[in-house]
Structure 1
Amino acid sequence: MYNEKDTIYALATIKGKAGVAVIRVSGTKSKEVLKIICKKENLTPRMMTNTLFYDSEEIVDKGLVVFFENPKSFTGEDVLELHIHSSLAVIKRLSKVLGEIEGVRLADRGEFSRRAVMNNKMDLTEAEGLIDLINAETEFQRKIALKQYSGEQRKLFEEWKEDLTKSLAWIEAYLDFPEEEVSEDVTVSIQNLINKLSTAISTMLSTKSNGEAIRTGYKIAIIGKPNAGKSSLLNALTKRNVAIVSDIEGTTRDVIEAYIDLDGYPITFLDTAGIRNSEDIIEAEGVRRALEVAKDADLILYLKPISDFSTDDFEKDFNQSNVLKVLTKSDLPYMVMNDNSDRDDFIKCSVKAPHGVDNLMKAISEKISNDLSDINDTLLTRERHRQALKSCLDNLFGQRTIIYSH
C-alpha cells in the first residue's frame, strides 16, 4: 500500500524520441529532489531556470527546471517539473536517480489528479473531465471534456446542492418547532424549490446518454441478412478494408468495430453477422451477438439489397426512431429492380458507384446532429452521474409527496 505522504514522480509526456520530455515531481521532498538532481536551492516559484541534471557528480542532461510552491500547483503540493531531452537513455537515468531518493517513488496511475482532488484543487467531475480531455480525439469530445474540466458541471451541481440545503433547512425548522406556525409562504417556497430541482434533473436525465455517446463514441450497428452488403458498406464508410468481403454467405461471424471522426462526432461502426436462422453453432452465436449489438446501438443501419423482395421478420423488433433504412446495391441493372427501388423510406446507396454512399453519410450526420442537439448544454458523461441523479430524483419525488400530503 502506497503512502500518501510519499513524494511521487512520473513522466508527464508520452514516452518516445522527441525534442522535450517533462518529468513531474510532487510532494514535500520536491525541494530536496531539486537540490540532489539539479544542485540548486531556492528557485523563484513559477519561473523557468536553465540547469544541468546530475546523477551524483555526473552530468546526465541539460535543460530547464521550474518549481511550483504549494498550494499554487496542480496537486496543491510542492511540484517540480524537469524539462529534459526526450531521450530514452536520459529518461531512464534520471528516473533511476529519482527512485533512489528515500521517500520518493514512482506515481501510481492517476495519482497526481487524485492528490489534486484530495487537496481541493479540483473535484471528481473535473478530474473526470481532465482524463476525457486527454483522451479526446474529436472536436466535440474536446469541447465537452473542457467544459467539464473547467468546472461547468460542478457549478451546476453546487447550485442544486445550495437549493437542496435551503429546502432542508426549512423542513428541519418545521420538524424541530412544530408548535410554531409555519407561514404558507415558506411551504410554497419549499414546494417551488423541489419542483424546480425535479424538473431540472428530469430534463438532464432525459438527454438519453448523449454525453456518454460523445465521450465513448456514437455506436452505429450495421444490420441485415447475409450478403446484404454490410461488410462492403463498412469498408466504404471508413474508407479502408476493415472487413473481409465475399459472395459466400456467413463470411462475417463476429462483430467488427471501426472508428471514424464524422464532422467532429466520434463514430464507431459495428459490422455484424447476417441475420438468419442457422443450425451452425458459430453462425447462430454471431446472429445472437448481432441482435444484441443492435439493441444497444445508438443508431441502426438496416440494409436490404435492391433486388430483395422478401420481408425481414426481425425488422419489427427495431425501435424505428433509431433506424436508417438503406437500400444497397443500387447500381444493379434495372431488370433486377422491383418495388423496393421507389421506396422513399429507404436511402439508396452503392459502394461501387462514385459518391455512392454520400447521401447515407449525410443522413447519418444529420441524425447524429439531431440526437445530440443539446451539445452546448451541461451533459452527463458517465453512468455514475446518471445513477446519482436518479437516486436524488427519487428522493425528491418522495419528499414532494410528503409535503403535499401535509
Structure 2
Amino acid sequence: MEKKNNTIIARATPTGQGSIGVIRISGSKVIDVIKYILKLTYIKPRYAHYLPFFYKNKIIDKGIVLWFPKPNSFTGEDILELQCHGNSILIDLLINNILNISGIRIAAPGEFSRRAFLNKKFDLTQVEAISDIISANSKAAIFSAMNLMNGKLSFLLTKFTKIIINLRVKIESFLEFDYKINYSTFCKKIIITLEKLLKFLINIIEYVENGIRIKEGIKIILIGPPNSGKSSLMNLITDKDISIVTNIPGTTRDILHENIYIDSVPIEIIDTAGIRNTDNQIEILGIKKTFEEIKNSNYLFLVIEDKMSEDNLSIIIKKYLKNFIKSIPIIIIRNKIDITNNVPEIIYNNDYTIIKISIKKKIGISNLMHFIKERILNKNTNENQFTARERYLEILNSIYKYLIKGKKNFLNTNSLELLSEDFRLIQKELDSITGKFYSEDLLNNIFSQFCVGK
C-alpha cells in the first residue's frame, strides 16, 4: 500500500450500468476535488447538493454531492461523495480526471474501512461487521451482523476485560501495599472471581459459536445404518428428490449436500453413506468421508429403525460416535413407527434427544420440524445474537486455556505473580479481537477481503 496520508478515491457502487453510480473520496485533498470538479470554493457540510460535474472545463453530468468534514465522517477524514448516473464510462472519466490532482490515488480493497478503524471510528469487530452485512445470505444474518456492528460483542468483551483489569490491579496492589489484608481471604476471593470469569467466558464462546453458524449456515448431518430412512428424510426436509431411495443397502455412497432456508436461516442438510460392516471398498470410502464430515457439522441426526433395541443403539453409538458425543449434539431419529405401531413423540434425555416418526406415512414430521425450529434455530438466533468469525473463537479458546491453567496453578502454588502474568496475556489476547492490539498482517488479511469502495 502506498502512503497512508494520501487521499484515496474509488467507486462505491458495483461495476456495470445502473441508474446511480457513487464515487467516494477520503483525505485532505477533498477540498481540492470540490474546487476542481465542482468549480466551487465551498459547499455546505452534510447537506445534499444538486450540482454539475466538470470534466476539462465541460459539464459531463449533474448529480448529488455530499461533503462530510473530519472528524464527523465514516473514515474520520474529509469525505466527498459524488452521486452521478451509473454509466461505467462516465464514472471512469470522473475518477481519472480527479486522479490528475496530485496526492490522490485509487483506494486499496477495504481501505476506507481500514482508515475508519485506524482513526478509531470503529473497533475491528465492528469493521468486520460491515463485510458481514454486505455478504449476508439471510435475514437472520443481516440482523446479527447489525448487532455486531452496534457493538454487542464489543460490550461483552469490554465487560470481561474490566473484570480482568480490576483483578490485576487488586493483585498488584496487594503485592505492593496491602499486607494488612488476610492472604487466605484474598486468595478465596480470587478463586470466586476466576469461577465467574470462566462462566462468563463460556457464555461468550457460545454466542460466538452461534454467530459463526449464522454467518456460515447451520450444518445438520444425517447418518445411520443402510435403509434406515436417511435419504428419505433428506428428501422430506428439503422438499426435493435429491437422494436416491431404494431397498438396496449401500445406495448412498457419496456425501450429498443441500442448502435450504427455514425461517430465513440457512441450513445445510448432509446425507451420508449408511454405516455398517462391509467389504465394498467404495462403501468403505463413503463411510470414511461420513466421519470426516461429522467434524464440520453442528448437529448430528442418527436415523435408525424404530424396531432397533436400546442395546443395539448403544453399540452403534459406542462404536461409531463415541468421539463425537461431547462435541456435537446427537438427535436420534427413530423412523418407521408405522411398523412398530408406536406414537410420534419427542423424548429428552441427558445425552441425546429421541424423535419418533414415520417418514413414509409422514407421521410426527411436525414434531421434527418444531424441534428444528425451537431447539436448533431459536438457540442460534435471538435478538442479541451477532455474527462471528473463527478468529474470535480461536482467541477465546486460547483465553479459556489460560484461565484453566491459571486457576490450576494458583490452587497448587497460590502464586499471585504467576496469575497476574496469565491475566496480562489474557488481556493482550482480548485486545487482538477488537484491534487494540494488532499486527499489519492481521489487518491486511481482513481488509483485503473487502471491496475497493468500502
Q: Please give the range of the TM-score, normalised by the shorter of the 2 chains.
A: 0.7 to 0.9
Aligned partners of 2:60, 2:277: CA distance in 1, in Å?
67
Could you say if the C-alpha distance between residues 74 and 305 of structure 1 is closer, same or farther in structure 2, counting changes exceeding 3 Å? Answer: same
| CA separation of 1:174 and 1:348: change in aligned 2, threshold 3 A | closer
Is the 2:234–2:243 contact (alpha carbons within 8 Å) kept by the matching residues of 1? no
Greater shift, 202-211 or 103-112, is seen at 202-211
Q: State the partner residue of 1:365.
A: 373
Shift of 1:238: 3.0
**Which residue among 319, 324, 329 is the counterpart of 2:331?**
324
| CA deviation vs aligned residue, 1:249-285 (integer Å, no higher than 9, x gap) | 6665543332222124331222333444555655533
Structure-2 residue corresponding to 1:245: 244
The alignment's TM-score, normalised by the length of structure 2, stands at: 0.73
Counterpart-to-counterpart distance in 2, 1:370 and 1:385? 22
Is the 1:237–1:357 contact (alpha carbons within 8 Å) kept by the matching residues of 2?
no
CA contact (8 A) 2:344 2:357 kept: no
Name the structure 2 match of 1:386.
393
The change in CA–CA distance for 1:28 and 1:277 in structure 2 (over 3 A counts) is farther
Partner of 1:385: helix, strand, or coil?
Answer: helix
CA shift at 1:184, angstroms? Answer: 3.9
Residues of 1 paired with 2:163 and 2:224: CA distance?
51
Residue by residue over 1:21-47, the C-alpha shift from the partner in whole angstroms, topping out at 9 and shown as x without a partner, is 322222222222333333333221111
2:22 alignment partner in structure 1:
22
Q: Please report how far the alpha carbon of residue 216 of structure 1 lies from its aligned counterpart in structure 2 after TM superposition.
A: 1.6
Q: In the alignment, which residue of structure 2 is the partner of 1:181?
A: 179
Counterpart code for 1:387: E
Rounded to whole Å, the distance in 2 between the matches of 1:20 and 1:10 is 15
Q: Secondary structure at the match of 2:234?
A: helix
Q: State the shift of 1:183 in Å.
A: 2.5
Q: Secondary structure at the match of 1:19?
A: strand
Task: Give how far 1:368 is off.
Answer: 0.6
Shift of 1:71: 1.0
Shift of 1:75: 0.9
Q: Aligned residue for 1:301?
A: 301
Secondary structure class of the residue paired with 2:161: helix
Is residue 232–residue 359 contact of structure 2 (8 Å, CA) maintained in 1? no
2:433 corresponds to: none
CA offset digits 1:109-133 (Å, max 9, x no partner): 2222111111100101211222222
Residue identity in the other structure for 1:110:
G
Match of 1:165 in 2: 165
What is the distance in 2 between the residues matched to 1:78 and 1:163? 38
Give the Cα separation in 2 of the matches to 1:226 and 1:99: 66
User: For residues 282 and 32 of structure 2, what CA distance do their matches in structure 1 show?
Assistant: 62
Residue identity opposite 1:133 in structure 2 = I
Report the alpha carbon displacement of residue 104 of structure 1 after superposing the two structures with TM: 2.8
User: 1:206-225 residue pairs with structure 2 within 5 A?
Assistant: 209-225=209-225
Q: Which amino acid aligns with 1:362?
A: H
Amino acid across the alignment from 2:244: V
State the number of aligned residues. 395
Q: Check the 8 A contact 2:147/2:384 in 1, yes or no.
A: no
Q: Secondary structure at the match of 2:120?
A: coil
Please give the residue correspondences for 1:5-404 in structure 2 after superposition, counting only pairs within 5 Å.
5-99=5-99, 101-177=101-177, 181-184=179-182, 187=186, 193-205=193-205, 209-226=209-226, 230-240=230-240, 243=242, 245=244, 247=246, 252-276=252-276, 281-304=281-304, 314-316=316-318, 317-318=320-321, 319=325, 322-326=329-333, 338-339=339-340, 345-350=354-359, 357-369=365-377, 371-372=379-380, 375-377=382-384, 381-397=388-404, 399-400=406-407, 401-402=409-410
User: 1:54 & 1:250 partners in 2: Cα distance?
Assistant: 70
**Compared with structure 1, are the counterparts of its residues 236 and 82 closer, same or farther at alpha carbon in structure 2 (3 Å cutoff)?**
farther
Query: Does the 8 A contact of 2:226 with 2:249 survive in 1?
Result: yes
Question: What residue number does 2:419 align with?
Answer: none
Measured after TM superposition, the shift of residue 50 of structure 1 is 0.8
Percent of pairs with identical residues: 32
Q: CA offset at residue 193 of structure 1?
A: 4.5
Mapped partners of 1:377, 1:27: distance in 2: 36
Separation in structure 1 between the aligned mates of residue 97 and residue 229 of structure 2, nearest angstrom: 59
Any stretches of 5+ residues in structure 2 without a counterpart? 346-353, 416-454
> What's the TM-score, normalizing by structure 1?
0.80
Higher-RCO chain (CA-CA 8 Å, sequence separation at least 6): 2
**d(CA) in 2 for partners of 1:389, 1:308:** 41
Which consecutive unaligned segments of at least 5 residues does structure 1 have? 331-336
Residues 357 and 363, structure 2, Cα contact 8 Å, conserved in 1: no
Matched residue SS, 1:131? helix
